[in-house]
Each structure stands twice: as C-alpha cells, then as structure tokens.
Amino acid sequence: MQMEHSESTAFSSSKLPFLAITALLLSACVTSRVEDVRAIETHISAGEGVVIMAKSYHLGNETESKFISCVGDSLGRGSKRLKVVPNGAFIDSLFPWFEPRTAPAKTEGLATLMARPGVAKKIESQGVRYIIWLDGNTDRVAGGGSMSCAAGPGGGGCFGFAWWQNDANYEASIWDLKGQESAGTISTDVSGTSFMPALIIPIPLIARTQTKACKALAEQLSIFLKQDGSA
C-alpha cells in the first residue's frame, strides 16, 4: 500500500513540471489592450468617492453585474484604494433619477438633474464626486473541437479536445459631478482562448478574460482618478 503511494507520488512528481508548463503555455493565451482618453484633470479630495454603474439597457447595454462588482471591489482594495459607494444604495437614494429609462445619457443632462429638488444634496451627502458608467460585455466569439465522454460499470472517461475564445470589451465613461462634465473614457479590450484537453479526465485551461479586463480597467481607473497624487 505504501509502495503504491510512493509510486503514485513519483509519477506525479515526474509529470508535474510537464503538466505545469503545458498548462502555463496553454492558459497564457490572453491579450489585452487598455486605452484612456482624458478630457479634464481629475482630483479626488478626502471624503470624496466614486459610484460605478452600468449604462442603461435601454441603450442596448448588457454589462454583467458581476463585472461591475469586480471593478468596484478592485478599486476599493489595495494601497491606491478609492472610496466606492455601493451603486444599489446610490440609485435607491436618488430614485427615480438613475433608473435605466431616466438616468442622464449625456453629461448635458447633468445640470438639469442636479437642479432637481434634493438631488445635489443627496449626492453630496454620499460623497460621490465621479460617476463611472460601464458599457460592454464579454462574449464567446469562436470555439471548436470535440469531446466525448462515456461511463460504464467499470468506470468512465472523456476523450477529445475543445477550445473557445472569449472577447471582453468594456468602456468606462467618467463623469465629474462637481464640474458637471465628462472627465474622459477608458476602454479595455481583452481576448482569451481557453482549452480543454481530455484524456480520461478533462483538464480545463481557462483564460480568465473577464477577470483580466476587470483588473486592467480598475487599475487604469485608479491611475486616471488619482493622476495628481492626491487622495
């Protein structure tokens, strides 16, 4: 029994580097591009923060709520963290002015919105300086291969190879609520190919396209908003 165990360990030890290198080579198929366009200088004072929201689905947007949470969590963590106001509480406190149908689609609508009774006060009380509107989504753009699995009384297994490519395209529009103007936009385009070879056991080598897009966008947003080094 012990021998079996040691044999098994020896097998794992000899194969492990090969598997790890193969996994790294295969799972490293992610390319990313991040661009920002700055319209004005940005500055966040102490007590000021941001709120991250999805652009309206009335405008055809389908940004995943998971992605919005990911960007918010990433911005609110680490040494360069920003104050991120939860979007649900922000939208509820300003109901009905940030609903998908009523939210301003352009910065030109900000002046009218801020002039409405109670709106500016509610925004100020929550310390929201910038609204970050997210637009875009992650889509599967290609895929192929084949895999078949079978199971019988003596056991089961899979054989084959499958792959798929996901593209994550997102754009963040940053609105300065104090200046009532657009501060700029940041776009990220991440493409990743995942593989799943199967020789009895399927080994998924997943390209975390959306997570990569989230981290890249959050990092760039953090730099963009803290450009002058103030916190």
Partner 1 sequence: MTKNIRIAAVSILLALGTSGCSSQVELVNPNIPKLLIEKIPLTVVVKYPDNFNHYVYEEDVIGDSNWTIDLGGANKTMFNNLFGSMFTSVKVIEEGESLDDLQFDAYIEPSIEKFEFAIPAQSRTKSYAVWIRYRLKVFDANGVQISNWPVSAYGKQMGGKMNGADTIKKAAVLAMRDATAVIGIQMDKATGVSKLSSAHGPAETTPASTVGESAKTVSTDEESAISE
Residue whose structure tokens are 């995942």: 194
The secondary element (H helix, E strand) that includes residue 83 is strand 83-85
Query: Residue 36 or residue 124: which is nearer to partner 1 going by CB?
Result: 124
Tokens of 93: 């406190």
Q: Rule CB under 8 A: choose which of 25, 57, 73, 156 binds partner 1.
A: 57
Q: Is 11 in the site for partner 1 (CB under 8 A)?
A: no
Query: Residue 33 or residue 58: which is nearer to partner 1 going by CB?
Result: 58
Query: Residue 122 or residue 178: which is nearer to partner 1 going by CB?
Result: 122
Cis peptide before 96 (omega within 30 of 0): yes
Query: Residue 54 or residue 75: which is nearer to partner 1 going by CB?
Result: 54
Q: Is 186 in the site for partner 1 (CB under 8 A)?
A: no
What is the total count of residues that contact partner 1 (CB under 8 A)? Answer: 21
Neighbours of 133 (CB within 10 A): 23
Q: Which of residues 117-176 bind partner 1 (CB under 8 A)?
A: 117-119, 122
Dihedral sign for Cα atoms in the order 19, 21, 23, 26: negative
* Secondary structure (3-state) at 225: helix
Applying CB under 8 A, the residues found at the interface with partner 1 are 57-58, 62, 64-66, 92-97, 99-102, 116-119, 122
